[in-house]
Amino acid sequence: MRIAIVGSGVIGLSVALYLSLEGFKVMLITRNPQEGASWFAGGMLAPFSEGLEGELFEFSYESLKMYSDYVKLVEEVSRSKIDFWKNGILRVVLKGEEGLIKKAEQYRERGFSVEILERMDYHSEEVVSVIRYAEEGWVDTEHLMDALLLAMENSGVKIEIDEINKIELKDERVESLKGIKGNYRADYYVFCTGAWTKELFDVPVYPIKGQAIKIKAKPVDVVNYSTISYIIPRSRYTYVGATSEDVSFLGGNTVGGLNFLCGNAIRVVPSIAKAEVMSTIYGFRPATPDEKPIFLLGENYCLFSGHYRNGILHAPITASIAKSLIKDGVKSIYFEYFSQERF
């Protein structure tokens, strides 16, 4: 069976990998393998720090539990190493944010691993305490994306660089995809088009821009997730994120954005003021009105989009949902939870 996947972010690449390993003939069509939000994400795997609830929490937590096996699989197929840390994240509590402790206690009552600690030496006096969510972790997203692209090569996925601008439908079935360079036909189609999904489907997915900076210093050795800033250590530098801006697809790093990032990071960890800036980056999160994904299921196609702030975390579960659907005909309950009927 021939599968065509549109989009080469973490979702499209992970779906392509899982399906190609099942023996499907997979073609991945993407406008630009470097433009996806996935390259610019912090890579935090943080359903607790994000304070998620309900089915979005269940979905995210299930994916967190799959992450070690997922990274191992991508490493094996790509024959490359991905930096991945799984020893917990610190949720920083600032003055006036005592509600976060209450939330942490609720997670603890449900049996999750939660520790409430005093602030660290490197914190400012604005930090009241920290919550350690031991089950969380983070991944170097550039390593992950590089490895996924290598895995495409090693598992026989054919990549076409093209922009799909029309889906030809007949009797509810996709007949073909029209691109700028050519037309594409397959037996089944999977759309993973991130923040650009609305160009192809009438669904409420829109871009929320996030700016971030990389600094040369290593002021912390674990992710410090605060309401105003994320400080994420990687092996060669520290990632400081992120803004959240509703500015459509307006690109670039702005003075206001960098001011926000630097000022807030210094408020949490003052020594960051002395760090050398290495580079600045930005990307577009695929947002929806209620911040939950949108999954669509058609006769011979499906769509996985709207992963918003947690798409890196959601990659393994989304890919396994696609695999169960296409290989075994099993329709995940998440097609109902994340259906666009809810709007």
Ligand X SMILES: Cc1cc2nc3c(=O)[nH]c(=O)nc-3n(C[C@H](O)[C@H](O)[C@H](O)COP(=O)(O)OP(=O)(O)OC[C@H]3O[C@@H](n4cnc5c(N)ncnc54)[C@H](O)[C@@H]3O)c2cc1C
**Which residues contact ligand X (rule: CB under 6 A)?**
6-12, 29-32, 35-38, 40-44, 163-164, 192-196, 199-200, 210, 212, 241-242, 283, 285-286, 307-313
| Smallest distance, ligand X to C-beta of residue 71, A | 13
Q: What's the Cα-to-Cα distance from 255 to each of 100, 211, 252, 341, rounded to whole Å?
A: 31, 11, 10, 40
| Smallest distance, ligand X to C-beta of residue 126, A | 22
| Smallest distance, ligand X to C-beta of residue 81, A | 20
**What is the DSSP code string of 15-62?**
HHHHHHHTT-EEEEEES-TT-SGGGG---EE-TTTTT--HHHHHHHHH
Secondary element (H or E) of residue 146: helix 141-154
Secondary element (H or E) of residue 161: strand 158-161
Take residue 277 and report the two structure tokens written for it: 């800036």
Take residue 55 and report the two structure tokens written for it: 């089915």
| Smallest distance, ligand X to C-beta of residue 184, A | 10
CB atoms within 10 A of CB 300: 12
| Smallest distance, ligand X to C-beta of residue 125, A | 27
Peptide bond into 242 cis (omega under 30): yes
Interatomic CA distance for residues 315 and 41, integer angstroms: 13
CB 90 within 8 A of CB 130: yes
Q: Of 24 and 196, which has the nearer Cβ to ligand X?
A: 196
| Smallest distance, ligand X to C-beta of residue 56, A | 12
Interatomic CA distance for residues 23 and 3, integer angstroms: 11
Beta bridge partners of 212: 241, 281
Q: Of 47 and 219, which has the nearer Cβ to ligand X?
A: 47
**What is the DSSP code string of 291-330?**
S--EEEE-SSEEEEE--GGGHHHHHHHHHHHHHHHHHH--
| Smallest distance, ligand X to C-beta of residue 39, A | 7
| Smallest distance, ligand X to C-beta of residue 162, A | 7
